[in-house]
Amino acid sequence: SAQIADLQQKLLDADNGDRAKQRWDSIATILEAKCALKYLLGELVSSKVQESKLQSGLQQSQASCSDVQKMLMEERNHIAEMEAEFQNQILVQEQQHQEKVNHNSWK
C-alpha cells in the first residue's frame, strides 16, 4: 500500500507538472499573457528578494568567519608567546640548577 501511495503521488506530481506546462503553452489572449507576465514578474521579484537575503546572510557569515579567524590568529600568537616564556623559564631554572650543582661541587 505504501508503494501504491508513492506511485499515486508521483502520478499526481507528473500530472501537475504537465498541467502547468499545458497552461503556459495554451496562452492565447492578451489578457492571459498579461496574467502570465504578472505572475512571472512576481516570481522574479520574489527570487530577487530571496537572493538578496541569501547574499546578506553570506556576507554576515563571511564577516563572522573573518572575525573567528582573527581571534584564532590572536590566540595562536598568545600561545606562542606563552610557550616562548615557558621555554625561557625552563632555561632559567636549568641554569640555576646547574649553578647550584656547580657551586655544591666546589665546596
pLDDT in tens, 76-97: 999 999 999 999 999 999 999 9
pLDDT at 16: 66
Q: Which pTM was predicted?
A: 0.52
- Asked whether the beta carbons of 40 and 48 are under 8 A apart, the reply is no
- Asked whether the beta carbons of 24 and 36 are under 8 A apart, the reply is yes
Sign of the CA dihedral with 81 first, then 85, 90, and 92 last = positive
- Which of 14-28, 40-54, 66-80 has the lowest average pLDDT? 14-28
